[in-house]
A and B are shown apart, each in its own frame.
Chain A
Amino acid sequence: MSHFPGLFNYWIVIFLMMAGFYVVISQGNLVKKIIGLSLFQASAFILYISEANVDGGHVPILEEGITLYSNPLPHVLILTAIVVSVSTTAVGLALIVRIKETYGTVEEDELQEIDNAQDEADTPDQKQQIAEEKEI
């Protein structure tokens, strides 16, 4: 296991990623799902930044007498990704707020039940009735 310390970062990243993934697929509350997605996202950030690191490297700001720097490219990618992630998370949360206002719940099971009940209620007769009402 000569690799152990060198790969430890990646394994933690995988653990965090799977923790986020687990929240997304197993829990019913939509807000919690978004938090799970954010955990997942943050683990990807850690992966990139770990990759950018160089042993004995220096912060990538030029200084006299220093020649070994960490890789600035992943830093740039992740810096912008963090700000994009907050905007996209906000869009997800906004959708959840509207779902709550329309359905009165943010639990996936209940949403499914309400939807199924609506589908069953929509017999052809009722649909025709609604269409007629709209025409009037």
Chain B
Amino acid sequence: MDIALLSMLSITAIAAIRLRDLFAVTMLFGIYSFLTAAFFLTLDAIDVAFTEAAVGAGVTTVLMLATLRLTGRYEQTPKHSPLIPILVVCITGAALVYGTLDAPTVGDPEAPSQTHVAPRYIQQSADEIGIPNMVTSVLASYRGYDTLGETFVIFCAGLAVIIILGLQDSGEIHPGRSAIGDQLVLRVVIKMLLPFILLFALYVQLHGDYGAGGGFQAGVIFASGFILYDLVFGEGDARLIIPPNWLRRMAALGVLLYAGVGVTTLIMGKNFLDYSALAESPTAGQHLGIFLVEIGVGITVFSVILTIFFAFSGRARIAVKTGRGGS
């Protein structure tokens, strides 16, 4: 099973290198992401598989297609000889393979990565945090600092895209006019699916303590619901539901909520992001803290992903209007 998936990954990667049609390459990249997600599933990493399927196969592909619309579909044949790059790649690869010969085999329970901090998370998180999903307790509580940092990175990336592309629109929104034309089947299917997609996102957000899920996945799924709506129901229609101005504030609000929980615990006399200060018993405090922090993450991820999509799609409409952009 593993070997089959990994071979398919390699074949997809080779095909992606050889093709000159960037649209096909983007589609292959989507397939590559889905295969990666399936592979993560066989390795017991359901939370990660979940995220990869939503992000890699969904959002990244849409963003790349939006870019291709602006920059043109075909790439030129390279003028340089591929010999030197191939040589460099082979030497680097050989050095890395040589490095793996000493590495512990996959699945070895005695490997250094399994014996350091992992036993504590596995054996004591039930008593210390009190929620079943270890990934969530490590993410939001043991490693809350890291996650706060990651949320800030996402926020900054959203800011950078707004600065580079701008959130302005051509001013004209055409309700019901979609770039892909009037697709009746798609419209009906999306109309039926959309409530369930949004409901599922909320479930993933709120159920992250007990099963696979959490703020990161929920934010991405919620955003992709809106992206789907915008793609099928018309250019800029999603902007009517959630104006870009709100999104910017919401992105900041999520980060503030996360950092605010940290500051609150400081004020209550415990360490930064030590949630046991928040309630009577430590585990109740952990529950509340993780809940709030995950909501902060979810809001930020949702608004940043949707902001990025709005920035790209708004740019495409301006390009079409003024005659700039790709063929």
Q: Do chains A and B interact in one complex? A: yes
Q: List which A104-122 residues lie within 8 A (CB) of chain B.
A: 106-107, 109
Q: A15-B93, A35-B25, A61-B211 are in contact. Are A78 and B79 (CB under 8 A)?
A: no
In contact, B138 and A93 (Cβ under 8 angstroms): no
In contact, B68 and A82 (Cβ under 8 angstroms): no
Q: Which residue of B lies closest to A107 (CB)?
A: B76
Q: How far is the CA of A17 from the CA of B95 in the complex (A)?
A: 13
Whether B281 is near chain A, meaning CB under 8 Å from some CB there, is: no
In contact, B89 and A9 (Cβ under 8 angstroms): no
Q: Determine the chain A residues whose CB is within 8 A of the CB of B113 once the complex forms.
A: 51-52, 71, 73-74
Majority SS at the chain A contact face = helix
Q: A18-B89, A22-B85, A97-B67 are in contact. Are A35 and B29 (CB under 8 A)?
A: yes
Q: How far is the CA of A17 from the CA of B216 in the complex (A)?
A: 25
Q: How far is the CA of A106 from the CA of B22 in the complex (A)?
A: 12
B217 nearest CB across to chain A (Å) = 8
Q: A9-B106, A19-B17, A87-B153 are in contact. Are A63 and B134 (CB under 8 A)?
A: no
Q: Determine the chain B residues whose CB is within 8 A of the CB of A107 once the complex forms.
A: 75-76
Q: Determine the chain B residues whose CB is within 8 A of the CB of A82 once the complex forms.
A: 48, 51-52, 55-56, 216
Q: A28-B75, A53-B43, A83-B301 are in contact. Are A94 and B220 (CB under 8 A)?
A: no
Q: Determine the chain A residues whose CB is within 8 A of the CB of B121 once the complex forms.
A: 72-73
In contact, B212 and A61 (Cβ under 8 angstroms): yes
Q: Determine the chain B residues whose CB is within 8 A of the CB of A34 once the complex forms.
A: 64
Whether B6 is near chain A, meaning CB under 8 Å from some CB there, is: yes
B1 nearest CB across to chain A (Å) = 12
Q: List which B127-174 residues lie within 8 A (CB) of chain A.
A: 132-135, 138-139, 143, 146-147, 150, 153-154, 157-158, 160-161, 164-165
Whether B195 is near chain A, meaning CB under 8 Å from some CB there, is: no
Whether B242 is near chain A, meaning CB under 8 Å from some CB there, is: no
Majority SS at the chain B contact face = helix
> Looking at the complex, which of B179-187, B265-273, B303-311 is the stretch in contact with chain A?
B303-311
A3 nearest CB across to chain B (Å) = 6
In contact, A100 and B326 (Cβ under 8 angstroms): yes
Q: Determine the chain B residues whose CB is within 8 A of the CB of A73 once the complex forms.
A: 113, 117-118, 121, 138, 143
In contact, B135 and A45 (Cβ under 8 angstroms): no
In contact, B93 and A16 (Cβ under 8 angstroms): no
Q: Mark A54-66, 1 if CB is under 8 A from B, else 0.
A: 1101111111000
Residues of B within 8 A of A (CB): 2-3, 6-7, 9-10, 13-14, 16-17, 22, 25-26, 29, 32-33, 36, 39-40, 43-48, 51-52, 55-56, 59-60, 63-64, 66-68, 70-72, 75-76, 78-80, 82, 85-86, 88-90, 92-93, 96-97, 100-101, 103, 105-109, 111, 113-114, 117-118, 121-122, 125-126, 132-135, 138-139, 143, 146-147, 150, 153-154, 157-158, 160-161, 164-165, 210-212, 214, 216-217, 219-220, 301, 304-305, 308, 311-312, 315, 319, 324-326
Residues of A within 8 A of B (CB): 3, 5-12, 14-23, 25-32, 34-35, 38-39, 42, 45-46, 49-55, 57-63, 68-91, 93-98, 100-101, 106-107, 109
17 contacts between A and B (CB under 8 A): A12-B7, A15-B93, A16-B10, A23-B16, A25-B89, A29-B22, A34-B64, A39-B13, A54-B109, A58-B44, A61-B211, A70-B45, A72-B138, A76-B139, A79-B217, A83-B301, A97-B312
